[in-house]
Amino acid sequence: MMIKFVLHRLLWGAITVWFIATATFFAMHAVPGDPLIQDKAMSPVVRAQLEARYGLDKPLSQQYFTFIGNMINGDFGISFTQENRRVNDIIREHFPVSATLGIAAIAIALVGGVLAGSIAAHYRGQWPDKLVMFMVVAAISVPGFVIAGLAQLIIVKLNSAAESTVLPVAGWGGVNHVWVPALVLGLGTLAYLSRLSRAAMLEVLSSDYILAARARGISGVSLFFRYQLRNALLPVVTELGPAVAAITTGGFVVELIFAIPGLGRYFVQAVQQLDYTVIMGTTVFYGAFLVVIVVLVDISYGLIDPRIRLSAGRS
Amino acid sequence: MAMLLFVLLGPLVWQQDPSQQWLSQVSSGPTSGIYARVVGPISTKGVGNVSRLTVLESNTERVQLAWPEVVSVERFRLYRAKQHQSGKGLPLWQGRGRSYTDELQLRRQIYRYTLVDADTGMMLFSTETRPEPAISVFEAQLQELIPASATVYPEYLRLPAHPLGTDALGRDILARLMAGGRSSLFVGIVAPLLFISFGAIFGGLAGYIGGKFDQFAMRSADFVVALPFLLFMILLRIAFGIGPGQDGILPLILAMLLLSWPSSARLIRGQVLALRSQPFIDSARLSGVTTWGIFRRHIFPNVLPVLMVAFSFAIPQAIFTEAFLSFIGMGVSPPSTSWGAMCNDGIKTLLSHPGQLLWPAAMISISVLAFNILGDALRDTADKRSGGVGQ
Amino acid sequence: MSVVAIEHLQLALSGNQVLREVSFSLEEGECRALVGESGSGKSLTAMCLLGLAPPNAVLNAEQFSVMGQPLPAQGHRDWRGWRGRRIAMIFQNPMTALSPTRTIGAQLSECFRLHRNMDRRQARAESAALLERLAIPRAEQRLSQYPFEFSGGMLQRVMIALAVACRPKLLIADEPTTALDVTVQAEVLALLRELQHEQGTSLLFISHDLGVVANIADTVSVMYAGETVESASVASLLRHPAHPYSEALQAAMPRLHSREITVAIPGSPPDMRGTIQGCAFAPRCKHRMAICEDSPPLLISPRGAGVRCWRWHPDYPERWRLQHD
């Protein structure tokens, strides 16, 4: 039953990735202007060589099939602006950095959000609830890049007040380089998830089965984890897919501001320099990555909620 | 109760944004400003004799200092410090002359100049001065405060006020906030208006007609939803491109339209499907109301509150999207600006002048907050009113 | 010694007196039914017995004890030794009273592990045995199923299993059959009765259905507007109801062998948001008298029922005239 469910999701994912790749390809080829125009003047010979190298001399349909074929083989081509650098290498080199940051951010958002939401729900209408909800509204209304900038400003003030480097302002390296950007990156999602888990937890708290469990003498930690949290997590898990997407794109900005050598920063640079292959490669890569995440979330939702698993298996 | 909330909160929320737009019309006119001395080229007349370190001229364009000869000192060194700064401060100059003109980033604050013997480091003189506001003839001519051909000019000029100061390129932040707000809010309101209307019509038709068309509409919606939104915003923005002289707003709106219609289409389709099976639609049809009549009289009024809610939540989303794209340089292109683009400029000078980031950031946050609150209020109202047709 | 002794239990929720005067007792092995309209405070009384009254509740009682021991304050941590171990409860709707994301086995063996200190394997074996005992087929496999895979009747059996798992002294059943099909109702009632005899448990059976009550209970307490207006044996209540409200309830009960049209009680229960002066039932009572402006004391009818109605006062009817005279 479960296998069928998983296969179904995987097939859906594959089709979506193909669609993303196709859309990317045609979007990029609809760009007005000449992809090879750069500052330097080019002799016709050099130009012809470059065209041959990037396959630009072939008809569009052939380019498309080459592109899709290469994609299937996991080959994204060569960068336009950083010559001789393969897009695969760029991804391989910089994605782990983004992933580290993203995983840290997701972890912070998930744990913080669920915790804050649960606390707010348990103290409904009292000051912890009001505090959490106020922070949620504040965090949702402020763009990520502003939070990033402010965080940097605070770090600078902190460092100058302490007259030593308490926290690094930017860059990449040790643990201290990770957690501030990760917090900044996760903050919006954290706020969103706390609102969500607060609502879910409120519903759980007013449910019969919590009352029944308490009437059976279940209390404290086991009541919270086994009964309340487990049921309140369901709606949160469904939102993890969008949350990962938000953190991925949010990462572009945070990596830019904190000067972190992640894939997001390279993507933004590529966009600004119109580096076609890098844009296409990273877009498809990110698209595929997000699809994989969505499929994983679907599957894990099936694991948590037995109703989904069984109904999907039966249908 | 809900209506009360709606009536009271609605205008309160709406007030904020028009007020910013309204201000924009007066933004360029000078309101109240400071008088600045108009400073011509450095006069070449002799320094004359002074008995100690003397300030000959002191304004924000330049501070001219002169000092007497000192026995046994060959070379002098001049330092400049801010008033409360300890020590001698910044070394400005070293040499044999007996005068110096400081033109280095002077502001309207008290400076302390210290002259020392460059060889022994012995302190010779010290003096304090507070430069008065000034504008150079060249800049005054450039900004057309005085005619370019004029050779005689007034001693003082009244400069336009910058209540929020100027940005890194000397542009008035308040004025730019207003201009930026126009593009931000324009995108923020027009884009959702377009994609929600499009989605609503498409989804409404899909729900009403049903069958093959419905399937086609929902399949395409599925695919568009599967696209990573911001990535494709960037991609489409590049694909549409912008020619010289365009501000990039149109491609932005088009890209949003292409990517954002499915959510409202799905929403409206669901609503129309639910409504279509309601008995009152059947009874209307039985009593001979035309399809268009049913749509206009029964479906549209019932769907409208839902649409309004979706609209008010789409606005902050669109404002955010615009800000994000402008921030990474893929949104509104110069010389036009938007709050997001201003943030992008501001973050570069964050450490020295946080205001340049904070003002546009505050504008974004306040408008987003306002629209979110409006959306919450609208949703509460709609929830209470609907009752019949399930969400 | 009474298993439950409640005297003058009062409870206010944000200033509204929701329970005004609840008194009853429950002997060992006895089954007492708590009967009344919805909103009369039956379930709230049960919640108080588990320490699960809403957090803003203010509780007051002259006596409020189980097995001779006074109960802890509502929401106090001392309730741990009581809930599930000495007092257990069966809920009205079995479909919503089990966590949907955990297996039946996990929830059932949790009880054994928590209250009887069993290890995992022991608890599971015990759970299977208990389900078997409650006539659930294929009990072993059923343990690893989720609540949504069970039918309503099966789930209520599971709820009963959860409640009796630790052989509580007091079992509260809050309308345990209301959400079930009629055919299943009888089975569940028989099962409850059987278990009660087997384990010697006292049963507090909450219901609004006198028919069901007649089937299972020994004694009945009738509640109206947060007050126990009559406590009597089942037979006495059904044949000779002493309080006008009991009378009306009894008259409203559908009968199999009679063509009489059942009589609905005119009027509606009082609004609990205000303070109630005098007898709460007076506005709907056909025996209303001037004295009913004052709260009636607890009186004993000649047949031994405890009843709050002036008509059983020794001075009736000499001293008071009916109001409509």
- Per-residue pLDDT of B81-130, as tens digits, reads 887 777 778 888 888 888 888 877 777 778 888 888 888 888 888 888 88
Query: Does residue C173 have a pLDDT over 80?
Result: yes
Q: Which of B37-41, B289-293, B297-301, C19-23 has the lowest mean pLDDT?
A: B37-41
Q: What is the pLDDT of residue B358?
A: 80
Q: Which residue of C82, C84, C148 is in closest CB contact with A307?
A: C148
Q: What is the pLDDT of residue C205?
A: 93
Q: What would the 3-class secondary structure string for A98-167 be?
A: HHHHHHHHHHHHHHHHHHHHHHHHHCCCCHHHHHHHHHHHHHHHCCHHHHHHHHHHHHHHHHHHHCCCCC
Number of H helices, E strands in chain A: 14, 0
Query: Does residue B11 have a pLDDT over 50?
Result: no
Q: What is the pLDDT of residue C206?
A: 92
Alpha carbons A158 and A66: distance in angstroms, whole number: 53
Q: Hey, which chains touch C, using 3+ CB pairs under 8 Å?
A: A
* Cβ pair C320, C293 in contact under 8 A: no
- pLDDT band for position C219 (cuts 50, 70, 90): very high
Query: Does residue A1 have a pLDDT over 70?
Result: no
Query: Does residue B16 have a pLDDT over 70?
Result: no
Rounded mean pLDDT of A63-85?
A: 75
- pLDDT band for position A83 (cuts 50, 70, 90): low
- pLDDT band for position B253 (cuts 50, 70, 90): confident
Query: Does residue B165 have a pLDDT over 70?
Result: no
* Cβ pair C309, C244 in contact under 8 A: yes
Q: List, for residues C96-132, the tens digit of each pLDDT value.
A: 888 888 889 989 988 888 888 888 899 999 899 888 8
Contacts of B372 in chain A (CB under 8 A): 137, 140-141
Q: What is the pLDDT of residue A27?
A: 79
C283 min Cα distance to partner chain A (Å)? 35
Query: Does residue C237 have a pLDDT over 70?
Result: yes
* Cβ pair B30, B158 in contact under 8 A: yes
Q: Which residue of B316, B324, B357 is in closest CB contact with A253?
A: B324
Query: Does residue C198 have a pLDDT over 50?
Result: yes
- Is the Cβ pair B239, A279 closer than 8 Å? no
Tokens for A206?
Answer: 């007013």
Contacts of C79 in chain A (CB under 8 A): 217
Q: List, for residues A113-170, the tens digit of each pLDDT value.
A: 999 999 999 888 888 888 988 888 888 888 888 888 888 888 888 888 877 777 777 7
Q: Which residue of C85, C98, C107 is in closest CB contact with A217?
A: C85
- Is the Cβ pair B228, A20 closer than 8 Å? yes
Alpha carbons A77 and A86: distance in angstroms, whole number: 6
Q: What is the pLDDT of residue B15?
A: 43
Q: What is the pLDDT of residue B135?
A: 72
Query: What's the mean per-residue pLDDT of chain C?
Result: 84
- Is the Cβ pair B328, A271 closer than 8 Å? yes
- The Cβ-side half-sphere exposure at A38, using a 13 Å CA radius, reads 16
Using a 10 angstrom Cβ sphere, with 0-12 exposed, 13-18 middle and 19 or more buried, the burial of residue B44 is: exposed
- Is the Cβ pair A149, B361 closer than 8 Å? yes
- Is the Cβ pair A208, C91 closer than 8 Å? yes
Which residue, among A248, A186, A98, has the nearest Cα to B229 in the 3D structure? A248
Q: What is the pLDDT of residue B162?
A: 62
Q: What is the pLDDT of residue B27?
A: 36
* 3-state SS assignment for residue B127: strand
Query: Does residue C177 have a pLDDT over 70?
Result: yes
Q: What is the pLDDT of residue A54?
A: 67
Q: List, for residues B345-391, the tens digit of each pLDDT value.
A: 777 777 777 777 787 888 888 888 878 877 877 877 777 665 444 33
B113 touches chain A (CB under 8 A): no
Q: What is the pLDDT of residue B105?
A: 72
Q: Quote the longest CA-to-CA distance of chain B.
A: 114
Question: E strands within C71-125?
Answer: 87-90
Count CB atoms within 10 A of the CB of residue B73: 16
- pLDDT band for position C260 (cuts 50, 70, 90): low
pTM of the model: 0.75
Q: What is the pLDDT of residue B348?
A: 76
C80 touches chain A (CB under 8 A): yes
- pLDDT band for position A300 (cuts 50, 70, 90): confident
- Is the Cβ pair A272, B228 closer than 8 Å? no
Q: List, for residues A210-263, the tens digit of each pLDDT value.
A: 888 888 888 878 888 888 888 888 888 878 878 888 888 888 888 888 888 888
Q: What is the pLDDT of residue B9?
A: 46
Query: What's the mean per-residue pLDDT of chain B?
Result: 75
Q: What is the pLDDT of residue C153?
A: 85
Q: List, for residues C76-91, the tens digit of each pLDDT value.
A: 777 877 888 888 999 8
What does the DSSP 8-state code read for residue C56? Answer: T
- Is the Cβ pair B357, A268 closer than 8 Å? no
The three-point CA angle B114-B117-B120 to 5° equals: 130
Q: Hey, which chains touch B, using 3+ CB pairs under 8 Å?
A: A
- Is the Cβ pair B327, A143 closer than 8 Å? yes
- pLDDT band for position C323 (cuts 50, 70, 90): very low
Query: Does residue C170 have a pLDDT over 70?
Result: yes
C201 vs A39, residue with greater confidence: C201
CA-based nearest residue in chain A for residue B321: A143
Alpha carbons A182 and A314: distance in angstroms, whole number: 41
Q: What is the pLDDT of residue C320?
A: 58
- pLDDT band for position B24 (cuts 50, 70, 90): very low
Query: Does residue A315 have a pLDDT over 60?
Result: no
Q: Which residue has the tokens 């959860």?
A: C162
Query: Does residue C315 have a pLDDT over 60?
Result: yes
Q: Which residue of B328, B354, B369 is in closest CB contact with A137?
A: B369
Which residue, among C96, C91, C95, C67, has the nearest Cα to C162 in the 3D structure? C91
B334 touches chain A (CB under 8 A): no
Q: What is the pLDDT of residue B161?
A: 59
- Is the Cβ pair B328, A143 closer than 8 Å? no
What residue type is assigned to position A23 of the chain?
A
Q: What is the pLDDT of residue C33?
A: 92
- Is the Cβ pair A16, B223 closer than 8 Å? yes
Please state the φ and ψ torsions of residue A42, each to the nearest 5 degrees.
-125, 140
- Is the Cβ pair A149, B330 closer than 8 Å? no
Q: Which residue of A16, A31, A291 is in closest CB contact with B241?
A: A31
Whether C and B touch (3+ CB pairs < 8 Å), yes or no: no
DSSP characters over A38-84: -SS---HHHHHHHHHHHTTTS-HHHHHHHHHHHHHTT---B-SSSTT
* Cβ pair C201, C167 in contact under 8 A: yes
Using an 8 Å CB-CB cutoff, list residues of chain A that contact chain C.
Answer: 207-209, 211-219, 222, 226-227, 230-231, 234, 304-307, 310
Contacts of C115 in chain A (CB under 8 A): 217
Please state the φ and ψ torsions of residue C6, each to the nearest 5 degrees.
-125, 125
- Is the Cβ pair A143, B235 closer than 8 Å? no
Tokens for B286?
Answer: 């039985």
Q: List, for residues C154-168, the tens digit of each pLDDT value.
A: 888 899 888 888 888
Contacts of B228 in chain A (CB under 8 A): 20, 245, 248-249, 283, 286-287, 290
Q: What is the pLDDT of residue A34?
A: 60
Q: List, for residues C34-88, the tens digit of each pLDDT value.
A: 998 888 888 889 888 888 888 888 888 888 888 888 887 777 777 877 888 888 9
Domains of chain B with bracketed CATH: 36-158 (2.60.40.10), 173-390 (1.10.3720.10)
Q: What is the pLDDT of residue C223?
A: 92
* Interface mutation target, options A26, A34, A146, chain B, most CBs of B under 10 Å: A146
- Is the Cβ pair C110, A306 closer than 8 Å? no
Query: Does residue B10 have a pLDDT over 70?
Result: no
Please state the φ and ψ torsions of residue C42, each to the nearest 5 degrees.
-65, -55
ipTM exceeds 0.85 = no
Q: Hey, which chains touch A, using 3+ CB pairs under 8 Å?
A: B, C
Contacts of A214 in chain C (CB under 8 A): 50, 52, 83
Domains of chain A with bracketed CATH: 88-276 (1.10.3720.10)
Query: Does residue B2 have a pLDDT over 50?
Result: no
Q: What is the pLDDT of residue B241?
A: 67
Tokens for A221?
Answer: 């930690």
CA-based nearest residue in chain B for residue A146: B361
Length of chain A: 315
Which residue, among C178, C186, C167, C221, has the nearest Cα to C31 in the 3D structure? C221
CA-based nearest residue in chain B for residue A275: B238
Q: What is the pLDDT of residue A112?
A: 92
